[in-house]
Amino acid sequence: MRPDEASNALRLADAPIADGGTPAEEWLPWRDSLPPLRLEDCPGLVVVAAHPDDETLGFGGATVMAAARGVDVHTVVASDGGAAWPDLAPWEQKRLEQARRHESRCAAALLGLHRPTFLGLPDGGLADQEARLADSLSDLLHERPAGTWCAATWRGDGHPDHEAVGRAAAVAASRTGAVLLEYPVWMWHWAKPDDPNIPGHRAARVVTDSVAAERKQRAVELFQSQLEPGGAGRDPILPPHVVTRLLHVGEVVFR
């Protein structure tokens, strides 16, 4: 395993969200130095998310641009995100899963995409489901045109579920000849631009127009289950400073 494919779960765990993380302004020169991703070369796109909202937060602008070009964009969400808070009662978890699926569907519609496919795998346990996930993605990619892009959460993103999705997508892409792209979500929080574990040598930035940026922001705002506190004593999963940073730094992929 290359250093840029190693798990960074411990690093994310050691970087409390409440502490703010790396400011977006530190990332912008690094992002701006990257070559642009040529969306005009995309023959088809499958976006794989660990949880409902990853597909929008990490690659939503790119999907708007691709769909506007007539690219067939298909979204796959591995888990329903019911374990966002660890102390939820079963009925609360079920209600959260339903809410997150609904939010993801609404976001897809706003972005101009097909309804997402939900695999219903266990939130927080995707590492134990990698083989099953790789098989599901392989089946889906086999049905797509040759050279289809498969964009998945990065194998080094820090969240164990994100990393598991990235590994499964890498297996599926190797089986089918799909082009693997990995997008970070939590990297922007715990890492720095000069981090040796960031594969800058294979990074590209997504250049979005004002329409795509505006639609992505509106789509992010639909995920109220993650933007609002989850009840007494439960902080939002995505506090305002996290959302602001993600929208400011834009989107990057590792190829």
Rounded CA gap, 146 and 149, in Å? Answer: 9
Chain mean pLDDT for the chain = 96
Could you give the angle at which helices 90-111 and 210-220 cross, rounded to 10 degrees? Answer: 160
Query: Collapsing DSSP states into helix, strand and coil, what is residue 107?
Result: helix
The average pLDDT across 13-33 equals: 95
Question: Is residue 156 scored above 70 in pLDDT?
Answer: yes
Give the pLDDT confidence score for residue 95 in this predicted structure: 95
Domains of the chain (ranges; CATH) run 3-16+25-254 (3.40.50.10320)
**Residue 201, pLDDT score:** 96
Type of residue numbered 131: A
Q: What local confidence, expressed as pLDDT, does residue 99 receive?
A: 97
Tell me what percent of the residues of the chain surpass a pLDDT of 70.
Answer: 99
**pLDDT(87) > 90:** no
Q: Is the pLDDT of residue 143 over 90?
A: yes
Handedness of CA 63, 156, 38, 43 (dihedral sign): negative
What's the pLDDT at 1? 65
The pLDDT tens digits for 91-120 are: 999 999 999 999 999 999 999 999 999 999
For residues 26 and 193, the answer to whether their CB atoms sit within 8 Å is yes
pLDDT at position 233 is 79
Residue 237, pLDDT above cutoff 70? yes
User: What strands, in cross-sheet order, belong to the sheet with 149-153?
Assistant: 117-121, 73-79, 45-49, 149-153, 179-183, 252-254, 203-205
Mean pLDDT confidence for 42-46: 97
The yes-or-no verdict on residue 2 having pLDDT over 80 is no
- Is residue 3 over pLDDT 80? no
Q: What is d(CA 163, CA 182) in angstroms, rounded to the nearest whole number?
A: 10
Q: Residue 6: pLDDT band by 50, 70, 90 thresholds?
A: confident
Supply the pLDDT for residue 220: 98
Q: What is the pLDDT of residue 86?
A: 87
Residue type, 227: L
In terms of phi and psi (left: phi > 0; alpha: psi -120 to 50; beta: otherwise), the region of 116 is beta
Using alpha carbons, list the distances in angstroms from residue 155 to 37, 50, 163, 175, 186: 19, 11, 4, 17, 11
Residue 51 has pLDDT above 80, yes or no: yes
pLDDT in tens, 160-215: 999 999 999 999 999 999 999 999 999 999 999 999 999 999 999 999 999 999 99
**Tokens found for residue 94:** 């079920």
Of 73, 50, 16, 91, give the one whose Cα is nearest residue 184. Answer: 50
Contact predicate 216/64, CB 8 Å? yes
